[in-house]
Amino acid sequence: MRILIATDIEGVAGVVHPEQTRAGNAEYERARLWMTREASAAVRGAFDGGATEVRVNDSHGAYRNLLADELDPRARLVNGKPRMLGMMAGLEAGFDGVMLVGFHARAQVAGVLAHTVNSAAFARVWLNDRELGEAGLYGALAGEFGVPVIFASGDDVFAEEARAIFPRLRFTVTKQAAGRHSAVSLSPQAACEAIHAEARQAMAAIGTARPMLLETPVRARLQAQTPAHADLFSQWPALRRIDGVTLQWTAASVEHALRMLNCLSAMAFALH
């Protein structure tokens, strides 16, 4: 059995502030170590549950966060950008299950560091009139490849969101959100122990868990953070602006919808 683990940082135990998620400071260096240890805990759980191969996809920011020399040596690391499938890079090689480690809730909800893809540029995202965060967007991409999401970890707000999307999901709550920049968190060691146990249990769902499937073509809609962002995004001929901050388009697949979102996210840096 082959498992792909996508890793983000906002849902990692002990992480509550943007400084911990941005390279160039001591807070981040500590947080990326916690992130790597949580990823390794999921790797151990997957192998203990019967996995024969595990790839770990570094899925935060520039996709260059995980400490390769601290990662479980049995795993193969997927990092760096740009890449076609973003947080799900590697799926094209064929996998049996996906795990989401250190993920966060979607934008506009009360989770720790909650956002969707690009916090500065995107306010809300819908596919087929269903509002989704990163877990839902990339879970749908995994589903398009026939792969179910079987395990996730992050705060309690994200737990509620994820359980509503993915059937038979095992989840580790690493912290209880007390605000956008505050939480009651497990220690890094306790979080890793819990992630290992739940990831191992999640392997039992392989073969029975159902992939998340969306009807195609996909109707995509994006609410930008500001009219200036919508001005910029409207330069794409395929996008239709429907009000001051909202754009919509039709994509042939979830993959194409996400590739458009990632292009728009990259464009947004022109306004910074």
Share of the chain above pLDDT 70, in %: 100
Query: C-alpha 15: how far from its chain's center?
Result: 16
pLDDT of 272 strictly over 80: no
* CB distance 156 to 110 below 8 Å: no
Q: What is the mean pLDDT of the chain?
A: 97
Helical spans, DSSP H, in 53-187? 134-144, 156-165
* CB distance 80 to 87 below 8 Å: no
pLDDT on residue 155: 98
Long-range contacts at 222-228 (CB < 8 A, ≥ 24 apart): 222/122, 222/124, 222/125, 222/126, 222/246, 222/247, 222/248, 222/261, 222/264, 223/122, 223/123, 223/124, 223/125, 224/121, 224/122, 224/123, 225/120, 225/121, 225/122, 225/123, 228/271
Alpha carbon distance 74, 95 (integer Å) = 16
Average pLDDT for residues 173-182, to the nearest whole number? 98
Host H or E run for residue 155: strand 149-155
Q: Which residue ranges form the domains of the chain, and what is each CATH number?
A: 2-114+134-205 (3.40.50.10780)
* CB distance 166 to 194 below 8 Å: no
The pLDDT tens digits for 116-166 are: 999 999 999 999 999 999 999 999 999 999 999 999 999 999 999 999 999
pLDDT on residue 149: 98
The pLDDT tens digits for 7-56 are: 999 999 999 999 999 999 999 999 999 999 999 999 999 999 999 999 99
Alpha carbon distance 235, 105 (integer Å) = 29
Share of the chain above pLDDT 90, in %: 97
Alpha carbon distance 46, 197 (integer Å) = 9
pLDDT on residue 147: 97
pLDDT of 271 strictly over 90: no
Average pLDDT for residues 166-182, to the nearest whole number? 96
